[in-house]
Chains A and B, each alone.
Chain A
Amino acid sequence: MTMTHETTLPSSLPRPAHELERLKKPWRRPTGWRYLTRVDNTSIGLLYIGTALLFFLLAGILGLMMRTQLAVPDNTLLSAGSYNQIFTMHGTVMMFLFAIPIVEAIAVFLLPNMLGARDLPFPRLSAYAFWAYAIGGLAFFCTLFFGLAPDGGWFMYPPLTGKQYSPGLNADFWLLGIGFIEISAIAGAIELIVGILFTRAPGMSLSRMPVYAWAMLVVAVMIVFAFPAIIAGTALLEMERAFDWPFFIAERGGDPILWHHLFWFFGHPEVYIIFLPAAGMVSTMVPTIAGTPLVGRRPIIVALVVVCFFSFALWAHHMFTAGLGVMTMSFVSAASMAVAVPTAIQVFGWIATLWRGRVTMNAPALFLAGFMFIFVLGGLTGVMVALLPFDWQAHDTYFIVAHLHYVLVGGMVFPVFAALYYWLPLVKGQRLSERLAQWAFWLMFGGFNIAFFPMHVTGLLGMPRRVYTYPAEMGWAGLNLASTVGAFVLAGGVLLVLVDVVRTLRRPEQPVGNPWHAATLEWLPTEDYGTRSIPHITSADPLWDQPGLSEQVEAGRHYLPGTASGKRETIATSPVSGKPLYLLILPGDSWLPFIAAAGTAGFFLLLTVKMNLTAWACGIAAIVATVAWLWGSDRKQPITEARVSDTLVLPVGARGSASHSWWATIIMLVVDATIFASFVFAYIHISMRLEVCPPPSASLPELRWPLVSGALLAAGSILMLWARRSIGRRRLPWLALMATGCVIGAFLVDLHGYDLAGLAPRAQAWSATIAALLSYQGLHVIVLAVAGPYLAARAWSGRLSPTSRATLDNTALLWHYTTLQGIALALAVHLVPLLME
């Protein structure tokens, strides 16, 4: 039996001399100041996790400042203005700079190893996303030291955050900073979807894929559909503040509720975007701790997908008191309760696994137990606030503060700390101290409950959120003091863990091994290049069911035991069954992602403080770095095929819909279309508030203008279709340039039509929403106006060939999308008034 198994391994022994040396060379990581050029997932993942934890600490300190202020009645430690900035930054930093980034960061670090890939498919994109987040986030946080931090609450409701009531730069920093960080999150999501679908180990079918990878796939899809709403929302609010386009100003036809919709259509799925990765980590750790496969693995995976769907119907339960009508809100109330069912499937699955196995109460197990207790309590109060009459009473009180902290700290912080204990040995082979873990856990668990449980009562006694102080006669002093004491105890626990982390990471490196006897692939022996060979997988629990896998992989007995091209490589596999498809050559380390990210962050932040010259210098640096980055990619492959095992020869790279970059472009266009749909929603929402549409002072352009514009857009797309068939022909660059002319012409025709119709975005919100739609289309036209000549330049310099045509194929996709978007824009703008009649 052993013999048969041995002989069927993909690669035979002995391995050729120098194979390992050749594999090591391209993966060598630069040190010193060149550390900034690293793009590999391990380095970027660790930096990402470290930065997210730094923001957790900073936001935690802000939380402690709030609790100190509220410890006693009539406290004067902080002024009302400072308190407003601090609570806004506490929420914003925790949600946008800690919670979302850390779940993506852990995925960047863990997933390639867990899936058996050498790296993620777009390492430079990961590096860009990280640096944009780190630089932008730190600069955003520093606004606190200059009194420029936002102060409108983490959900920034207008009209408070409009120019009239927030005239300073504080709100602008939030809008630009957060919009920018969301783009970084979307870049991460695209990377994760393509990575999970196309770079799994051979044989790792979707049904054998780790539950954590399933969770991250679901989460990345949720990011793709949820984040565009807030990107559109922040764009609208910033346009209102910058250009006086009154989207949210009621007296000029706008509606503050529009912001609520856009914010919470992102904001509620975000709770699950944060929770589901934690649930995925729990589903990975629980079987290891119990020493038995996950009970109900398939229902748990299905439950993840169902939560994804349900979560998008819950946005309006944050708006129960906004006066949207009892019937619509009752639908949302019902959906809010329904989401408890798939969540319960997961919780019962974990309990059943622990029940069936033999649980070792080590540090990760303690934190997981804490997670279940706290999260279930948060879920129960969630069902309470899903009830309309109860929510009307509890809304905007400390009951909600208690609920959301039980859900988020229970559902995310405790699992992340469990994960820290569980996966930290991957870094240097050293485990954290079990003795300190006991102390840290009980301090965190006790401190958390002392801090937040009393808030349920303070809320029911009527204490509103966001008050910087309260009079003694309200009777809230004792409970608030208890909360403050609890918060400091909790902070003590966190500090203990972090001290232990630093202490452990300073100890000498030792072999990682498989300290918890886990079943997943990240515990295979790895070096800078990942695993020596990429394993062939035959089970959902490979390290349990495939004995000797570690030794085989390390000996180079599986796929791709060396490098075929002398560059960084991994195997691209099919999305459903995990069959090897082609060899994917990965880009190496580079300064370009760092420069592009720093330039982009600098551009937006400096523009906000009106340092225009420096801002534009940063912007140009970002554009040059991005163009140089793209110019160097999509090269002709150095080899056309590669032997990845004794018998398997794969093509190198792929074209069209088989290529990973094609899929990334498609996902990006889905994001794009969802942002556009959010703008269309704004237009419909504002139109529905009108008695007469168009409003009396406004009109639509005559039909001939959109018809001419549509025809020009279609002509541009046809030219691009022709260009795709003209690789290697002299006409290709001219076709690209003519298509550029068409798309620019179409937009100018549109603008002329609206000019003749007297479009006045400042006059009322209805016209402003049309101007927003046009601006979005204009943004695409600018991108194509750069992309067309860029394509021509690539063609003239011989960089477009049958084997390096991804730039052309992907630009063509963007081109067709812009055509469709332009036509959809015209249809929406002209059809809605007809329907309103």
Chain B
Amino acid sequence: MRERLFGKLLRGTLPMLVWAAHFGGSYVLVAAQCSPAGFAPGSPHRLPLALMTLVALAICAALAWRARGTLGGGDEQTALLDWAAALTALLAFAGIAWTSVPLWLVESCA
């Protein structure tokens, strides 16, 4: 599309895609470890999950930093897309941080 519809959609939703990848990755990694034929039934390895969380948080933080102008001084004329990029970065960061809390509190599969 000449208007770069998908490019714009991607820019506005990239942080949410990072959140989705982190959530899906965390869920699948734990489910794969904890299934009957899994490789760590009982107590899943949490280090890869923690690393994944740090990477996801870093990406969202970087995206939020890139959009800081909108968050700091956005006015009525600021484009919807800039708002989306900024707000989704913040919400995705909060979402990832919140979703990763069980990593610190829960040790076993069951």
- Give A residues with C-beta under 8 Å from B: 197, 206-207, 298-299, 301-303, 305-306, 309-310, 312-313, 324-328, 330-335, 337-338, 341-342, 574-577, 657, 688-691, 693, 836
In contact, A688 and B37 (Cβ under 8 angstroms): yes
A-B contact pairs, 11 of them (CB 8 A): A306-B87, A309-B20, A324-B31, A327-B102, A331-B23, A331-B27, A331-B102, A335-B99, A688-B31, A688-B32, A689-B37
Report A833 CB to chain B, min CB distance, Å.
Answer: 11
- How far does the alpha carbon of A331 sit from the alpha carbon of B20 in the complex, in Å? 12
**Residue from B2, B5, B26, B27 whose CB has the most chain A CB atoms within 10 Å:** B27
- Contact (A305, B105) CB under 8 Å given A298-B80, A313-B23, A327-B30: no
Chain A hits for B84, CB < 8 A = 298, 301-302, 305
Flag B56-93 by CB within 8 Å of A: 1 or 0 each.
00000000000000000000001111011001100100
Indicate whether A689 sits within 8 Å of B88 (C-beta atoms), given known contacts A298-B80, A325-B109, A334-B102: no
Q: Which of B20, B31, B108 contacts A313 (CB 8 A)?
A: B20
When chains A and B are docked, how far (Å) is the Cα of A341 from the Cα of B90? 11
Task: Known contacts A325-B109, A575-B1, A576-B3; decide if A335 and B23 are in contact (CB<8 Å).
Answer: yes
B88 touching A691 by the CB < 8 A rule?
Answer: no
Q: How far is the CA of A518 from the CA of B87 in the complex (A)?
A: 29
Return the contact of A325 from the options B23, B34, B87, B98 (Cβ within 8 A): B34
CA distance A306 to B36 in the complex (A): 34
The residue in chain B whose Cβ has the minimal distance to the Cβ of A691 is: B37
Bound complex: CA of A144 vs CA of B66, how far in Å? 59
B80 pairs with A301, CB closer than 8 A = yes
Q: What 0/1 pattern do residues 1 to 19 of B give for CB contact below 8 A with A?
A: 1111100100011001001
Q: Are A299 and B87 in contact (CB under 8 A)?
A: yes
Contact of B1 with A657 in the complex, beta carbons under 8 Å? yes
Residues on the A chain within 8 Å of B105, using CB: 330
- Tell me which residues across on chain A come within 8 A of B79, comparing CB atoms: 207
CA distance A634 to B73 in the complex (A): 50
Which residues on the B side are within 8 Å of A325 (C-beta)? 30-31, 34, 109-110
Q: How far is the CB of A707 from chain B (nearest CB, A)?
A: 28
**A313 nearest in chain B by CB position:** B23
Q: What is the CB-to-nearest-CB distance from B64 to chain A, in angstroms, rounded to a whole number?
A: 13
Beta-carbon contact of A342 and B3 below 8 Å: no
Contact indicator A574/B3 (Cβ below 8 Å) = yes
Cα–Cα, bound, A558→B103 (Å): 59
Partner of B88, one of A302, A333, A577, A688: A302
Q: Are B99 and A326 in contact (CB under 8 A)?
A: no
Shortest beta-carbon distance from B14 to chain A in Å: 11
| B85 nearest CB neighbor, chain A only | A302
List the 3 closest pairs (A to B, CB-CB), nearest first: A330-B102, A207-B80, A576-B3
Check A576 against B5 for contact (C-beta < 8 Å): yes
B51 at the interface (CB under 8 A from A): no
Q: How far is the CA of A341 from the CA of B34 in the complex (A)?
A: 31
- Residue B101 lies at the interface, judged by CB distance under 8 Å to chain A: yes
Tell me which residues across on chain B come within 8 A of A310, comparing CB atoms.
95
Q: Which residues of the other chain, A, contact B12 by a CB distance below 8 angstroms?
A: 302, 305
Q: A564 CA to B8 CA in the complex, in Å? A: 34
The CA-CA distance from A313 to B28 in the complex, in Å, is: 12
A201 CB to nearest B CB, Å = 17
The residue in chain B whose Cβ has the minimal distance to the Cβ of A693 is B37
Chain A residue contacts of B102, Cβ below 8 A: 326-327, 330-331, 333-334
Bound CA span A337–B101, Å:
12
**A657 proximity list for chain B (CB < 8 A):** 1
Are B106 and A330 in touch, CB under 8 angstroms?
yes
A297 to B: closest C-beta gap in Å: 9
Contact A327 B34, CB 8 Å, known A302-B83, A302-B88, A334-B101: yes
Interchain nearest-CB distance for B19 vs A (Å): 7
Given known contacts A298-B80, A301-B80, A327-B34, what 18 new A-B pairs fall within 8 Å (CB)? A197-B5, A305-B84, A306-B88, A310-B95, A325-B31, A327-B106, A328-B31, A331-B26, A331-B30, A333-B102, A334-B98, A335-B99, A338-B95, A574-B3, A576-B1, A576-B8, A691-B37, A693-B37
Alpha-carbon gap, A335 to B19, bound state (A): 10
A333 to B98, CA, bound (A): 10
Q: How many A-B residue pairs have CB under 8 A?
A: 114
Residues of B within 8 A of A309 (CB): 13, 16, 19-20
Neighbouring A residues of B81 by C-beta, 8 Å = 207
Which of B3, B23, B44, B88 has a CB less than 8 Å from the CB of A327? B44
Known contacts A338-B98, A341-B94, A342-B91: A305-B34 contact under CB 8 Å:
no
Q: Contact at A312–B83, with CB atoms within 8 Å?
A: no
**In the complex, are the beta carbons of B83 and A298 less than 8 A apart?**
yes
Minimum Cβ distance to chain A for residue B59 (Å): 15
Task: List the A side residues contacting B19 at CB < 8 Å.
Answer: 309
**List of B residues within 8 angstroms of A301 by Cβ:** 80, 84
Residues of A within 8 A of B16 (CB): 305-306, 309
A788 to chain B, nearest CB (A): 30
B99 touches A328 (CB 8 A): no
Residues on the B chain within 8 Å of A335, using CB: 23, 95, 98-99
Q: Is the CB of A206 within 8 A of B80?
A: yes
Residue of A nearest to B70 (CB): A298
| A299 vs B26: C-alpha distance when bound (angstroms) | 28
Interface residue from A324, A328, A341, A691 paired with B36 (Cβ < 8 Å): A691
User: CB-CB < 8 A to A326: which residues of B?
Assistant: 102, 106, 108-110
Kindly state the separation between the CA atoms of A693 and B36 in the bound complex, as whole angstroms.
Answer: 12
Residue of B nearest to A342 (CB): B91
- Which residues from chain B contact A337 at a C-beta distance below 8 Å? 98
* In the complex, chain B residues whose CB is within 8 Å of the CB of A693: 37
Contact in complex: B99, A331 (CB < 8 Å): yes
Give the residue name and chain of the B residue nearest to A197 (CB).
Answer: B5
B83 to A, closest residue via Cβ = A298
CA distance A333 to B84 in the complex (A): 25
Bound: A327/B103 CA distance, A: 8
Give every chain A residue within 8 A of B30 (Cβ-Cβ). Answer: 325, 327-328, 331
Q: Which residue of B lies closest to A657 (CB)?
A: B1
User: Which residues on the A side are within 8 Å of B37 (C-beta)?
Assistant: 688-691, 693, 836
Q: Which residues of A contact B99 (CB under 8 A)?
A: 331, 334-335, 338
Which A residues are in CB contact (< 8 Å) with B8? 576
In the bound complex, residues from chain A placing their C-beta under 8 Å from that of B108 are 326-327
A337 CA to B99 CA in the complex, in Å?
9
Instruction: Write the chain A residue with the least CB distance to B79.
Output: A207
**Closest beta carbon of chain A to B93's beta carbon, Å:** 11
Bound CA span A597–B88, Å: 42
Q: What residues of chain A lie closer than 8 Å to B38, measured between beta carbons?
A: 688
Report the minimal beta-carbon distance from B40 to chain A, rounded to whole angstroms. 11
- Give chain B residues whose Cβ lies under 8 Å from the Cβ of A303: 87
Contact B91 A306 (CB under 8 A): yes
Contacting B35 at CB < 8 Å: which of A302, A312, A577, A689? Answer: A689
Chain B residues, CB < 8 A from A306 = 16, 87-88, 91
Most buried by A among B20, B26, B31: B31
Taking the closest CB of chain A, its distance from the CB of B3, in whole angstroms, is 4
Residues of chain A within 8 A of B98, CB atoms compared:
334-335, 337-338
C-alpha gap A328/B105 in the complex (Å): 12
B7's nearest neighbour on chain A, judged by CB, is A576
Report the Cα distance A301→B44, complex, angstroms. 39
Which residues of A have CB within 8 Å of B94?
A: 338, 341
Complex formed: what's the CA distance from A689 to B36 in Å? Answer: 6
Q: How far is the CA of A577 from the CA of B84 in the complex (A)?
A: 17
| Complex Cα spacing A309 to B84, Å | 13
A contact residues around B31 at 8 Å (CB): 324-325, 328, 688
A150 CB, min distance to chain B CBs, angstroms: 31
What's the least CB distance linking B94 to chain A, in Å? Answer: 7
- Alpha-carbon separation in the docked complex, A223 to B37 (Å): 34
CA distance A577 to B23 in the complex (A): 33
Give the distance in Å from the alpha carbon of A134 to the alpha carbon of B21 in the complex. Answer: 39
C-alpha gap A577/B4 in the complex (Å) = 11
- In the bound assembly, the distance between CA atoms of A575 and B105 in angstroms comes to 46
Distance in angstroms between the alpha carbons of A306 and B13 in the assembled complex: 8
Cβ–Cβ < 8 Å partners of A302 in chain B: 12, 83-84, 87-88
